[in-house]
Amino acid sequence: MHISTPVDRALAAPPTRDKHPNAILSKRLARWRRHGAEIAYISLKACGFLGTCWLMAFGLPLLFFLAISGGNLDVLFWQVDNLAARWIAAGEARKLAFSQMIQIVLISSTTLIAMWRLPAFLADVTGNTAHQDNAQ
């Protein structure tokens, strides 16, 4: 199935040599559409990249608790219960300090994950396959 839109036909049309204002305008519109499409593509890829980095950073505490519990869910929930009980019993100053520490850890881990994944993201966006070939 081959679908050809008016925009595809306009871009595939042979260049005209006339200086007709409509021809110049259509070239400019085609160029702006192409730039708009590239900006939309990069924006969507960047949002997906940042979203997955955040999800990975939020998954790290779960991975940590699973690792120290040895994969036993009973021990995992005992640890979560212990953390929740200590949170309820803590004063406002300790809650604030713990919240700030968690924020720093999450932002730092997200930054490190993003730095680790950035070369693959840039290779994907630019269409450069040299990085992907080296990774395999």
Express each pLDDT in 121-135 by its tens digit. 888 888 765 544 555
Contact 65, 80 (CB under 8 A): yes
- pLDDT averaged over every residue in the chain: 82
Q: Distance between CA atoms of 3 and 85, rounded to whole angstroms?
A: 61
CA 119 – CA 16 distance, rounded (Å): 41
- For 49, residues 6+ apart whose C-beta sits below 8 A from its C-beta are 114, 117, 121
* Torsion of the alpha carbons at 38, 39, 40 and 43, rounded to the nearest 10: 120
The span from the CA of 81 to the CA of 98, in Å, is 16
Q: Is the pTM of this model over 0.75?
A: no
pLDDT in tens, 51-103: 999 999 999 988 988 898 888 889 889 988 998 999 999 999 999 999 999 99
CB atoms within 10 A of CB 53: 21
Is residue 5 predicted with pLDDT exceeding 80? no
Return the pLDDT at 39. 87
